Homo-oligomer: A and B are copies of this chain.
Amino acid sequence: MRWSQTFIPTMKEVPSDAEVPSHQLMLRAGLIRQLMAGAYTFMPLGYRVVRKVSQIVREEMDRAGGVELFMPAIQPIELFERTGRKEAFGNVLFNLEAKRGDRNLQFALGPTHEEVITDLVSREIKSYKQLPITMYQIQTKFRNEERPRFGVLRTSEFLMKDAYSFGASIQQLNEAYDAMYNAYCRIFERCGLEYIPVEAESGPIGGDASHEFMAPADNGEDFVVRCSGCEYAANQERADTGRSSSIPPAVNDAADPRKVDTPRAGTIEDVSKMLSADPATFIKTLIYSVSNGDPDESSDENIPPKTVAVLVRGDHEVNEGKVRRALGASRLELANEATIEELTGAPVGFAGPVGIQCDYVADHDVALIKSAITGANEKDAHLTGVIPGTHFELTETHDLRNAIADDPCPRCDGTLETVHGIEVGHVFKLGTKYSESLNAVFLDREEQKHPIIMGCYGIGVSRVVAAIVETCHDDGGIIWPESVAPYTVELIPLNIKDEETMTTANRIYDELSAGGIDVLMDDRDQRPGFKFKDADLIGLPVRVIIGGKGLKEGNAEIKLRTDSQATKVPIGEACDYVRRIVSAG
Contacts and interface: CB of A to CB of B under 8 A. Distances in A.
B42 A70 contact: yes
A124 B70 contact: no
A305 B180 CA distance: 66
Interface stretch (A17-25, A97-105, A190-198): A97-105
A498 interface: no
Interface string A143-164: 0111100000000110000000
Contact of A68 (B35, B44, B68, B76): B44
Contacts of A67: 5-7, 44
Interface in A82-99: 91, 94-99
Contacts of A39: 72, 74-75
A91 to B, nearest CB: 6
Contacts of A65: 5
Interface in A136-192: 140, 142, 144-147, 156-157
B98 A69 contact: no
Contacts of A48: 68
Contacts of A119: 35
Give how many copies assemble into the complex.
2
A348 B265 CA distance: 85
A41 B42 CA distance: 25
Contacts of A5: 65, 67
A7 B100 contact: no
A47 B145 CA distance: 30
Contacts of A74: 39, 94, 142, 156-157
Interface residues of A, number: 54
A420 B383 CA distance: 89
Nearest to A140: B73
Give the interface centre of A75, A109, A146 by most chain B CB atoms within 10 Å: A109
A116 interface: yes
A7 B135 contact: yes
B71 A35 contact: yes
A360 interface: no
A135 B116 CA distance: 33
Contacts of A156: 74, 98
Contact of A124 (B9, B69, B76, B147): B9
A202 to B, nearest CB: 26
B91 A69 contact: no
A43 interface: yes
Contacts of A135: 7, 44
A273 interface: no
A411 interface: no
B120 A33 contact: yes
Contact of A47 (B70, B73, B97): B70
Contact of A146 (B69, B96, B97, B101): B101
Given A76-B35, A124-B33, A69 B41 contact: yes
Contact of A123 (B33, B75, B147): B33
A255 interface: no
A116 B41 CA distance: 9
A100 B50 contact: no
A119 B109 CA distance: 25
A74 B34 CA distance: 12
A35 B116 contact: yes
A133 interface: yes
A576 B96 CA distance: 55
B120 A41 contact: yes
A501 B379 CA distance: 87
A75 B124 CA distance: 36
A468 B51 CA distance: 27
Given A9-B124, A144-B98, A146-B100, A72 B33 contact: no
Contacts of A6: 67
A114 B119 CA distance: 35
A41 B118 CA distance: 12
A72 B124 contact: no
A36 interface: yes
Nearest to A65: B5
A72 B38 CA distance: 10
Interface in A35-69: 35-37, 39-44, 46-48, 50, 65, 67-69
B36 A50 contact: no
A37 B7 CA distance: 39
Given A7-B133, A99-B91, A133-B7, A157 B72 contact: yes
Contacts of A95: 97
A44 B47 CA distance: 24
A178 to B, nearest CB: 17
Nearest to A58: B51
Given A65-B5, A124-B9, A135-B7, A144 B72 contact: no
Given A7-B133, A99-B91, A73 B73 contact: yes
15 contacts: A7-B135, A35-B71, A35-B72, A35-B116, A43-B69, A44-B69, A47-B69, A73-B73, A73-B140, A73-B157, A74-B142, A74-B157, A94-B96, A94-B98, A95-B97
6 A-B pairs with least C-beta separation: A39-B72, A42-B70, A98-B144, A44-B67, A41-B71, A9-B124
Given A7-B124, A35-B75, 12 more contacts: A5-B67, A33-B124, A35-B119, A35-B120, A39-B75, A40-B72, A47-B69, A47-B70, A73-B73, A100-B145, A100-B147, A109-B109
